[in-house]
Amino acid sequence: MSPFFSETAWLCLAVTAALGGLVLCKLQQSPGQVGRKVVCLACLWGGVCLLSLSLFWGLLLFSLSCFLLYIYLSGQELLPVDQKAVLITGGDSGIGHALSKYLDELGFTVFAGVLNENGSGAEELRRTCSNRFSVLQLDVTNSQQIKDAYSKVVQKVQNRGLWAVVNNAGILGLPTDGELIPMTHYKECMAVNFFGAVEVTKTFLPLLRKSKGRLVNISSMAGGVPLLKLAAYGSSKAALTMFSAIMRQELSKWEVKVSVIQPGGFKTNITGTAEMWNKLEKDILDHLTPDVKEEYGQDYILSQRNFFNSLTMYSSSDLSPVLLDIQHAISAKNPYSIYTPGSGAYLWFCFVSFSPTGIFDYFNKKLHSFHNSMPRTLSMPNWKNKAM
């Protein structure tokens, strides 16, 4: 090995170490979860470079990669809060409630839209948050309440403008077979999860265009991964995801950045209460035709409630990954278009996108195999012969 080559190799090694240190520093400043994936890919790429190429060319290529990664992460630095105003829907409980408190602690001026301004969730927000905080009566399916909320926001922010809108309000309904879900439940999911978010967006967009701010829509892993029992909920979230993708492109000319958050399983109050489950079960039974009720059987229909327990088993009570990603979407110079917080969420999206349909369907059914109940007709012996 020539002295020149040796000196050059040591120089590349020093440059690589310096750039690697800068990349790690930039990563520390980013609260989002995606940065970890980027660093893992960078380390994997570095290993491939060093193993497949000579030491000199491997270090040179890896140094260039670190430099590009540094430029990329520079765009992920967070803008100063400066009491930027943020509107959040669905602040009564769950992610919206936790996010309202979190952003208030960071110094944002938060407007928390709630379904019931006199409810316990709204009262807790008033009690625990700063004097910058405002609770707004905001049922996203009520056009007049959306207009009233807009007027109150304009009155308070005045010339400061509105920096971000977070469309978080959503409902789940009772997970069951798509054939059993009444049309009223499909319409309710679309009304809250999709049409409500669209109307809030359209109403507040003039303020976002003025501030060149952020639109953040809280979708779901179910909006991109066809999970069993979630036909109504998943379809409404898929519509919201597509709406976000189109608005991201259309609003770019106004310098408004749009992100969609697609969380995996997290424990929130979206699953509702026992009283709500009873009502949903009654609605399902009341809307079924006699032949469908006979085919599925009442025992099977009532056993669908057990699905809630399975959702809880695979859900995390730590909402911090979601909150950090939303903060990044609101505050980063160049936020990501899609965030997938939650254990395994990103892998599920990759799996459904790149695997053959038959393989995905097989593993998806295996995942739900813990729910062993079968419709009445299918549990009868020789049902296939009777069908023929």
Give the domain CATH number at 141.
3.40.50.720
The DSSP symbol for 337 reads: S
Q: Select, from the ranges 271-275, 362-366, 367-371, 375-379, the one with the highest average predicted confidence (pLDDT).
A: 362-366
**Given a cut of 90, is residue 142 above it in pLDDT?**
yes
Q: Select, from the ranges 18-22, 72-76, 274-278, the one with the highest average predicted confidence (pLDDT).
A: 274-278
Comparing 148-152, 221-225, 279-283, which segment has the lowest mean pLDDT? 279-283
Cβ distance 138 to 113 under 8 Å? yes
123 with 26, same domain: the answer is no
pLDDT for position 302: 78
pLDDT for position 30: 54
Q: Give the integer Cα–Cα distance in Å for 98 and 86.
A: 14
**Given a cut of 60, is residue 23 above it in pLDDT?**
no
The count of domains in the chain is 2
Residue 139 lies in a domain: yes
Query: If pLDDT is split at 50, 70 and 90, which confidence band does 4 have?
Result: very low
Look up the domain containing 10 and give its range.
Answer: 3-74
Query: If pLDDT is split at 50, 70 and 90, which confidence band does 202 have?
Result: very high
Residue 188 lies in a domain: yes
- Tell me the CA distances in angstroms from 271 to 56, 274, 285, one per residue in order: 57, 9, 19
Q: What is the CB-side half-sphere exposure of residue 86 using CA atoms within 13 A?
A: 32
Q: How far is CA 54 from the centre of its chain?
A: 43
Buried b / exposed e along 361-381 (16+ C-beta atoms within 10 A) = eeebeeeeeebeeebbeeeee
pTM (2 d.p.)? 0.81
**Given a cut of 70, is residue 80 above it in pLDDT?**
yes
243 with 346, same domain: the answer is yes
The amino acid at residue 263 is P
Is 233 catalytic? The answer is yes
Last residue of a domain, one of 74, 101, 117: 74
Q: What are the backbone dihedrals phi and psi of residue 103, each rounded to the nearest 5 degrees, phi first?
A: -70, -30
The mean pLDDT value of the chain amounts to 83
Last residue of a domain, one of 74, 105, 127: 74
Residue 196 lies in a domain: yes
Comparing 129-133, 154-158, 305-309, which segment has the lowest mean pLDDT? 305-309
Q: Give the integer Cα–Cα distance in Å for 158 and 151.
A: 10
Q: Give the integer Cα–Cα distance in Å for 193 and 168.
A: 8
Q: What are the backbone dihedrals phi and psi of residue 39, each rounded to the nearest 5 degrees, phi first?
A: -65, -40
161 with 289, same domain: the answer is yes
> Annotated catalytic residue: which of 233, 296, 300, 346?
233
334 with 209, same domain: the answer is yes
Last residue of a domain, one of 74, 103, 119: 74
Query: If pLDDT is split at 50, 70 and 90, which confidence band does 45 have?
Result: low
Residue 137 buriedness (CB in 10 A; 0-12 / 13-18 / 19+): middle
pLDDT for position 306: 72
150 with 49, same domain: the answer is no
Q: Give the integer Cα–Cα distance in Å for 363 and 366.
A: 5
- Spatial strand order of the sheet with 214-218 comes to 134-137, 109-114, 85-88, 164-167, 214-218, 257-261, 338-339
Kindly state the tokens that stand for 327.
């903060």
**Given a cut of 90, is residue 198 above it in pLDDT?**
yes
35 with 183, same domain: the answer is no
pLDDT for position 268: 74
150 with 199, same domain: the answer is yes
Residue 185 lies in a domain: yes
Higher pLDDT, 213 or 4: 213
Residue 123 lies in a domain: yes
SS3 call for 321? helix
157 with 279, same domain: the answer is yes
Q: Select, from the ranges 14-18, 68-72, 154-158, the one with the highest average predicted confidence (pLDDT).
A: 154-158
Residue 340 lies in a domain: yes
